[in-house]
């Protein structure tokens, strides 16, 4: 097949062109975040806390085995999906459930209490108090990615330019074909989720921001920043043509936008149906069905040869 024929076959569908690719991946990411919350509460309620802790060990191992399979593949599209799925699984099991085990069972911590008599649970459970304490580790990782000359993240490349680091760091030692998108997407999923969790936790922490004017101001600032930042990234996402690249870029876009969703639920502007699926069976069934349809559409969408592991030079 000639290069022209391959190019035409990859772009033969008039549907899978900008802005459709970007819109589909963004909506899919919002559904994925909601269903991630649903999965956690269903596992916890279905197995019970003690069994959940045991199951999380093996679920995490399964995620690493899945990641190993993805890393061995030379199919960029498959690598991206596996990296995303395994990243979500590791976050739920080896991070959130492990924090839950140490906070609730091993250390016997109580949730943060507020109210006039300090008898109301503020929603900050032990696992999230532990997670909030990891902000220093998060910043250390932020420094690592900032000083990594092989990064291809637009945010870190922008920071490097603003700090005048690119000349000092030198040219990248990796070409596009040298990158393994399974481990890249895996780490991106975990780091972005972690970053957005810390963002929310710090803004919701009454020990840092109180519970009155400063609390309200920071929450509204968070909403503004989340809307502007995710809106700018979404405008870029709408220009994407390759589904694999769009899916990776949609991970931070959806996660940053979700910060405003968390603030809205904190202020009781709407109900988090994704953490109470037994009360909203029909609604969450619709969300799950829509998510699966979008996944299938992206899997069946036309792919460029480079996304399927073929030569990037054609």
Cα–Cα nearest to 100, from 56, 59, 58: 56
Q: pTM above 0.85?
A: yes
> Contact, 157 vs 137, CB < 8 A?
no
**Long-range contacts formed by 289-298: CB under 8 A, 24+ apart:** 290/27, 290/31, 291/28, 291/31, 291/32, 291/35, 294/24, 294/27, 294/28, 294/31, 295/28, 297/24, 298/24, 298/25, 298/28, 298/243, 298/247
Spell out the per-residue pLDDT of the chain, length 314, in tens: 334 434 444 445 566 888 999 999 999 999 999 999 999 999 999 999 899 999 999 999 999 999 999 999 999 999 999 999 999 999 999 999 999 999 999 999 988 766 545 445 566 889 999 999 999 999 999 999 999 988 888 889 999 999 999 889 888 877 767 789 999 999 999 999 999 999 999 998 888 887 778 889 999 999 999 999 999 999 999 999 999 999 999 999 999 999 999 999 988 888 899 999 999 999 999 999 999 999 999 999 988 877 887 544 33
State the DSSP code for 174. -
SS (H, E, C) 23-48: HHHHHHHHHHHHHHHHHHHHHHHHHC
Is residue 185 within a helix (H) or strand (E), and if so which, with residue range? helix 181-204
State the DSSP code for 304. -
Domain boundaries defined on the chain: 3-111+124-170+187-308
The beta strand positions in the chain, using DSSP E, are 113-114, 120-121
Number of DSSP helices (H) and strands (E) in the chain, helices first: 14, 2
- CA 81/CA 70 separation, integer angstroms: 9
Cα–Cα nearest to 41, from 109, 92, 94, 113: 92
Q: Tokens for 154? A: 């637009």
């Amino acid at each position: 097949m000639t290069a022209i024929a391959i190019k035409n076959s990859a772009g033969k569908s008039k549907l899978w062109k900008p802005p459709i690719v970007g819109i589909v991946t963004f909506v899919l990411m919002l559904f994925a975040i909601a269903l991630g919350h649903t999965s956690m509460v269903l596992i916890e309620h279905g197995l019970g806390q003690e069994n959940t802790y045991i199951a999380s060990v093996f679920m995490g191992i399964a995620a690493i085995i899945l990641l190993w399979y993805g890393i061995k593949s030379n199919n960029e599209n498959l690598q991206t999906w596996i990296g995303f799925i395994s990243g979500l699984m590791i976050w739920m099991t080896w991070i959130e459930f492990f924090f839950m085990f140490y906070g609730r069972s091993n250390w016997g911590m109580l949730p943060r209490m507020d109210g006039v008599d300090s008898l109301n649970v503020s929603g900050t459970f032990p696992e999230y108090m532990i997670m909030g304490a990891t902000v220093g580790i998060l910043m250390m990782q932020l420094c690592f990615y900032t000083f990594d000359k092989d990064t291809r993240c637009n945010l870190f490349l922008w920071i490097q330019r603003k700090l005048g680091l690119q000349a000092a760091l030198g040219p990248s030692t990796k070409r596009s074909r040298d990158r393994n998108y399974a481990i890249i997407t895996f780490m991106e999923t975990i780091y972005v989720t972690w970053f957005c969790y810390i963002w929310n936790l710090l803004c919701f922490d009454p020990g840092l921001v109180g519970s009155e004017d400063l609390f309200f101001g920071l929450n509204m600032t968070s909403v503004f920043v989340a809307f502007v930042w995710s809106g700018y990234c979404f405008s870029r996402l709408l220009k994407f043509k390759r589904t694999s690249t769009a899916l990776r870029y949609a991970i931070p876009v959806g996660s940053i936008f979700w910060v405003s969703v968390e603030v809205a639920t904190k202020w009781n502007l709407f109900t988090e149906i994704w953490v109470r699926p037994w009360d909203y069976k029909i609604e969450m069934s619709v969300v799950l069905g829509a998510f699966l349809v979008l996944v299938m559409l992206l899997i069946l969408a036309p792919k460029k040869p480079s996304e399927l592991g073929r030569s990037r030079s054609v």
